[in-house]
């Protein structure tokens, strides 16, 4: 029995078995077959590892980290095949030796597989990681030419009330002014937008004093995130204590990264790249945790050498959907500071902050990257809803006792409900509203009475789209009884039972989400629209159209027949909710732990809530606890390269 198990299967049979088990995709199998054709005597181990390296991308990994003590977990997740030794015989040490001997593997990217520092990459992933690491290192090594003395006066003017403690926003501005890259991380409401607006004021003022004018571009990974930043940035720019000429030269329009780089129909290549760089001197990207390695490589390649890059985001949020955890890798040590003496001195001189006031930061021999990274630590918005902030902090610290206390202590903003056998309990919460927020009934009532004046339609639609964000149900999963697919079906059915929605695919009040980018329509994957009666046709009938809000705030009306990549969105995955905020967020958990339910996922769900958060548990509290105790680990070499 034992010897049978240890007899290696033929590589094709092993691949087939793993594909049949759902542990490899067709694409992964195709890659192994292609490599076998390239190199007839490729070993079983190399072909299997190639297929698994390809498959790792589906879990967000860039490579197989053969030195990872949890390698088995990385390769197989929670279901290591019983005959694993027959599928992939040997140990990581033996695999490394075989890989080193293989003509398909090199260290310099001259082969389809790359082995770099005990990490096995498909060449494309390795190249992207290298582009990102090199571009960041070059920017880190490029001093901005701005001295602490030059920064002092403007920083005092921009932060007049710094008080005695360390003003991390001011420090962030100083550090981001120092080299070709600045990274500002912080939880919701910590003032990332406020800080970056002041930073733009600072850098533009200094440039204009020098008779230059920075070409500034603002971007975010999704349309929704771009729209949200557009909404919040305008007022802040208007309030900047800088001369009008400086204020007027700071843009308030935020575009998506895809639009910034210039998508081309039917091509995955962008219009802007290393040989046709962006026309910009300063690029700010918000919600940077959503940027995957592929996009980061494209962005950095398209930046002209002199242009400064500022990344804003929350390092604790879910990593990007596609492979890589760039923001997490870049901010790995942000909480500790790790500032070198020269950095502390620069901050002391530019911010006028006594070194003693800087004691929150851990002084130490941090990397060059740490010297231009700042973490904002005070949640200014949570003054209105301190419960959300307390819960988010307790989740990040994986402190189950603090989590329980937060629910107890902030019982007016944090709710924990057990879903009972009453199967329509959840539907009622969403339709009638809960925790003091209106539900969908109010939206469905309002959509029945469009304004008579067609000029008012846009404003009406904008108001309803906003109303839709009062309350949002989130799930970490797509499938299963508490996955968004079934939740959306249940909601549709309930609305029909309540006579709020007719039994038709398209009806007034149906919220939909784009599931792919439609460049012709200018709508991006994740954009949410609301189906509404639009203008009257020649027969006096109102034709249904779907209203989307564009990043610049305008309303775009689209006929349902023009939309082929959309789905109903009464419930949304936590992944898709990134970049959005809702007054009341409800997170529903399945009745058993699931590999996709991680600490970052529930942190992201909780921090989507502006005012109140409701946890809906269909099983016992173990599901939530196990998610809190499961941080995401994505294999990548970016952090160690930097």
Q: Which stretch binds ligand ATP (CB under 6 A): 190-198, 202-210, 350-358, 399-407?
A: 190-198
190 versus 598: smaller Cβ distance to ligand ATP? 190
Phi-psi category of 332—alpha, beta or left, where left has phi over 0 and alpha has psi -120 to 50? alpha
190 is in an annotated binding site: yes
CB of 329 to ligand ATP, least distance (A): 20
CB of 165 to ligand ATP, least distance (A): 11
CB of 320 to ligand ATP, least distance (A): 17
Q: How many CA atoms lie within 13 A of 120 on its CB side?
A: 31
Single residue of 57, 193, 371, 585 touching ligand ATP by CB under 6 A: 193
Backbone angles phi, psi at 134, to 5 degrees: -65, -45
The H or E element containing residue 47 is helix 44-56
233 versus 464: smaller Cβ distance to ligand ATP? 233
In 205-237, which positions are buried (b, 16+ CB within 10 angstroms) versus exposed (e)? Answer: bbbbeeeeebebbbbbbbbbbbbbbbebbeebb
254 versus 501: smaller Cβ distance to ligand ATP? 254
Which of positions 302-341 make contact with ligand ATP (CB under 6 A)?
none
C-beta of residue 575 within 8 angstroms of C-beta of residue 470: no
CB of 188 to ligand ATP, least distance (A): 3
187 is in an annotated binding site: yes
Contacts of 499 (CB under 8 A, 6+ apart): none
| Position 156 contacts ligand ATP (CB under 6 A) | no
C-beta of residue 450 within 8 angstroms of C-beta of residue 530: no
CB of 473 to ligand ATP, least distance (A): 20
Three-state SS for 407-419 is HHHCCCCEEEEEC
Q: What is the DSSP letter of 1?
A: -
CB of 341 to ligand ATP, least distance (A): 27
| Position 192 contacts ligand ATP (CB under 6 A) | yes
125 versus 166: smaller Cβ distance to ligand ATP? 166
Q: Which stretch binds ligand ATP (CB under 6 A): 181-189, 214-222, 336-344, 528-536?
A: 181-189
C-beta of residue 146 within 8 angstroms of C-beta of residue 206: yes
Single residue of 55, 68, 169, 413 touching ligand ATP by CB under 6 A: 169
CB of 444 to ligand ATP, least distance (A): 29
Could you tell me the CA-to-CA distances from 53 to 48, 373, 460 in Å, in that order? Answer: 9, 31, 50
Residue whose token pair is 């309540």: 498
188 is in an annotated binding site: yes
Strand-by-strand arrangement of the 216-220 sheet: 254-256, 216-220, 282-285, 308-313, 181-186, 373-376
48 versus 155: smaller Cβ distance to ligand ATP? 155
Contacts of 194 (CB under 8 A, 6+ apart): 169, 236, 380
Single residue of 83, 118, 138, 232 touching ligand ATP by CB under 6 A: 232
- CA-based R_g, the chain, Å: 26
Give the span between the Cα atoms of 125 and 108, in whole angstroms. 13
CB of 363 to ligand ATP, least distance (A): 24
DSSP states of 490-541: HHHHHHHHTTSS-SSSS-TT-EEEESS-BTTTTB-TT-EEEEEEEEE-TTSP
Three-state SS for 560-587 is HHHCCCEEECCEEEHHHHCCCCEEEEEE
| Position 371 contacts ligand ATP (CB under 6 A) | no
Size of the site for ligand ATP (CB under 6 A): 12
Single residue of 333, 381, 478, 633 touching ligand ATP by CB under 6 A: 381
Single residue of 180, 188, 366, 534 touching ligand ATP by CB under 6 A: 188
CB of 257 to ligand ATP, least distance (A): 17
488 versus 585: smaller Cβ distance to ligand ATP? 585
Give the span between the Cα atoms of 430 and 471, in whole angstroms. 8
CB of 175 to ligand ATP, least distance (A): 17
189 is in an annotated binding site: yes
What string marks each residue from 520 to 549 as x (binds ligand ATP by CB under 6 A) or -? Answer: ------------------------------
Strand partners, 573: 475
189 versus 476: smaller Cβ distance to ligand ATP? 189
| Position 506 contacts ligand ATP (CB under 6 A) | no
192 is in an annotated binding site: yes
| Position 366 contacts ligand ATP (CB under 6 A) | no
Single residue of 194, 399, 467, 525 touching ligand ATP by CB under 6 A: 194
172 versus 512: smaller Cβ distance to ligand ATP? 172
CB of 70 to ligand ATP, least distance (A): 32
315 is in an annotated binding site: no
Q: How many helices (H) and strands (E) does the chain have?
A: 27, 24
Residue whose token pair is 């260290």: 107
| Position 190 contacts ligand ATP (CB under 6 A) | yes
| Position 604 contacts ligand ATP (CB under 6 A) | no
Both tokens of residue 191? 């003032």
Binding residues for ATP: 186-193
Binding residues: 186-193
Binding residues for ligand ATP, rule: CB under 6 A, are 169, 186, 188-194, 232, 380-381
């Amino acid at each position: 029995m034992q010897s049978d198990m240890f007899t290696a299967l033929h590589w094709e049979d092993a691949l087939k078995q793993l594909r049949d088990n759902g542990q490899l995709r067709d694409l992964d199998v195709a890659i192994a077959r292609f490599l076998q054709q390239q190199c007839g005597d490729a070993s079983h181990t190399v072909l299997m590892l190639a297929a698994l390296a390809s498959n790792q991308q589906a879990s967000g990994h860039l490579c197989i980290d053969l030195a990872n003590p949890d390698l088995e977990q990385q390769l197989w997740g929670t279901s290591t095949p019983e005959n694993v030794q027959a599928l992939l015989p040997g140990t990581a040490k033996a695999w490394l030796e075989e890989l080193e001997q293989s003509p398909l593997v090199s260290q310099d990217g001259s082969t389809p597989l790359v082995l770099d520092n005990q990490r096995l990459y498909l060449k494309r992933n390795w190249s992207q990681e290298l582009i990102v690491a090199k571009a960041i290192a070059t920017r880190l090594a490029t001093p901005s030419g701005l001295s602490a003395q030059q920064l002092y006066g403007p920083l005092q003017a921009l932060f007049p009330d710094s008080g005695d403690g360390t003003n991390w926003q001011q420090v962030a501005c100083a550090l981001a002014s120092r080299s070709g890259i600045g990274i500002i991380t912080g939880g919701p409401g910590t003032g990332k937008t406020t800080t970056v607006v002041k930073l733009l004021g600072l850098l533009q003022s200094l440039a204009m004093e020098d008779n230059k004018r920075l070409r500034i571009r603002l971007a975010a990974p999704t349309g929704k995130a771009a729209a949200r930043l557009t909404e919040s940035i305008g007022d802040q720019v208007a309030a900047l204590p800088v001369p009008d000429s400086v204020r007027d030269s700071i843009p308030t329009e935020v575009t998506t990264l895809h639009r910034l780089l210039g998508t081309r129909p039917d091509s995955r290549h962008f219009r802007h790249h290393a040989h046709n760089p962006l026309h910009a001197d300063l690029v700010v990207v918000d919600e940077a945790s959503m940027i995957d390695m592929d996009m980061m490589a494209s962005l950095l390649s398209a930046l002209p050498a002199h242009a400064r890059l500022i990344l804003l985001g929350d390092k604790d949020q879910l990593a990007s959907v596609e492979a890589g955890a760039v923001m997490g890798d870049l901010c790995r040590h942000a909480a500790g500071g790790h500032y070198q003496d020269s950095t502390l001195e620069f901050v002391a001189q530019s911010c006028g902050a006594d070194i003693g006031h800087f004691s929150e930061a851990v002084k130490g021999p941090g990397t060059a990257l740490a010297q231009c990274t700042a973490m904002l630590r005070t949640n200014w918005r949570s003054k209105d809803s301190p419960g959300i902030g307390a819960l988010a902090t307790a989740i990040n610290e994986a402190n189950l006792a603090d989590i329980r206390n937060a629910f107890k202590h902030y019982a007016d903003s944090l709710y924990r409900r057990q879903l009972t056998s009453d199967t329509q309990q959840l539907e009622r919460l969403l339709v009638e509203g809960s925790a003091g927020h209106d539900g969908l009934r109010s939206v469905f009532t309002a959509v029945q009475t469009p304004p008579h004046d067609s000029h008012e339609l846009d404003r009406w639609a904008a108001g309803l789209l906003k109303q839709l964000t009062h309350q949002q149900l989130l799930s970490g999963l797509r499938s299963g009884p508490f996955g968004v697919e079934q939740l959306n079906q249940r909601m549709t059915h309930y609305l029909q039972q309540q006579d709020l929605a007719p039994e038709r695919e398209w009806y007034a009040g149906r919220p939909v989400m784009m599931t792919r980018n439609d460049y012709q329509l200018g709508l991006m994957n994740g954009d949410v629209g609301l189906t509404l009666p639009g203008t009257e046709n020649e027969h006096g009938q109102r034709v249904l159209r779907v209203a989307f809000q564009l990043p610049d705030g305008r309303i775009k009306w689209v006929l349902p027949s023009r939309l082929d990549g959309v789905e109903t969105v009464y419930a949304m995955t936590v992944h898709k909710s990134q970049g959005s905020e809702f007054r009341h967020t409800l997170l529903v958990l399945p009745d058993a732990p699931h590999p996709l339910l991680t600490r970052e996922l529930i942190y992201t769900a909780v921090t989507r809530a502006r005012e109140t958060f409701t946890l809906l548990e269909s099983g016992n509290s173990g599901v939530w606890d196990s998610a809190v105790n499961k941080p995401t680990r994505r294999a990548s070499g970016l952090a160690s390269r930097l």
